[in-house]
Amino acid sequence: MTLTVRTLSTLEAAQHLDDLAQLLQACVADGASVGFVMPFDVEAATRFWQDSVLPALAGEGRVLWGAFEEGRLVGTVQLGLAMMPNQSHRAEVSKMLVAPAFRRRGIARALMQALLARAAAEGRSLVTLDTRSGDPSQALYTSCGFRVAGEIPGFALAPEGGPRRDPTTYMYRQG
């Protein structure tokens, strides 16, 4: 299959809203720690994209990439560029999502390469992120040149719901 990674404009993201919502919901249902807990339905996922991401894209404070295989949206990642004046050299990675059935195919790495190239083009010499400690994504980020800044225990509720609180690892990449 042919993988295509490209930035999505606000209009394109709106056109792919159903796919974006289904991707987010499927990732959370599969245990991805990306800010949401079960029960989490497609309607809630749609609201997230409509209320949070689309306005940020329109304001140019965020960049969204989509990964497509044979025309099907199978992954996304976002780069936050809207920083305080004393952090104009920095950008932040968020919502790395790859459809559960498409993982371990290099999609996340391709998304990160596109994101890091854009961060460099924007003059952002420091890129930061946080991830659930020990997740496979942490190994990906390490292989992309990110270093661990520290870990916070009990940072986020587990995505499946319930009382468990997972640690998060903060990471950064300079260059």
Residues 76-129 have pLDDT tens digits of 999 999 999 999 999 999 999 999 999 999 999 999 999 999 999 999 999 999
Q: Are 119 and 88 contacting, i.e. CB atoms less than 8 angstroms apart? A: no
Higher-pLDDT residue of 1, 43: 43
Q: Are 83 and 61 contacting, i.e. CB atoms less than 8 angstroms apart? A: no
Euclidean distance between CA atoms 158 and 39, whole angstroms: 12
- List the structure tokens of 153: 């225990």
- Alpha carbon distances (Å) from 165 to 63, 70, 81, 168: 30, 38, 29, 10
Phi-psi region of 79 (alpha: psi -120 to 50; beta: other; left: phi over 0): beta
Largest CA distance in the chain: 43
Strands 90-98 and 126-132: parallel
pLDDT tens digit sequence for 35-60: 999 999 999 999 999 999 999 999 98
Count of residues for the chain?
175
In the predicted structure, residue 29 carries a pLDDT above the cut 90? yes
pLDDT of residue 91: 98
In the predicted structure, residue 1 carries a pLDDT above the cut 90? no
Backbone angles phi, psi at 151, to 5 degrees: -130, 140
Confidence of residue 171 (pLDDT cuts 50, 70, 90): very high
Angle 69-112-68 from CA coordinates, rounded to 5°: 10
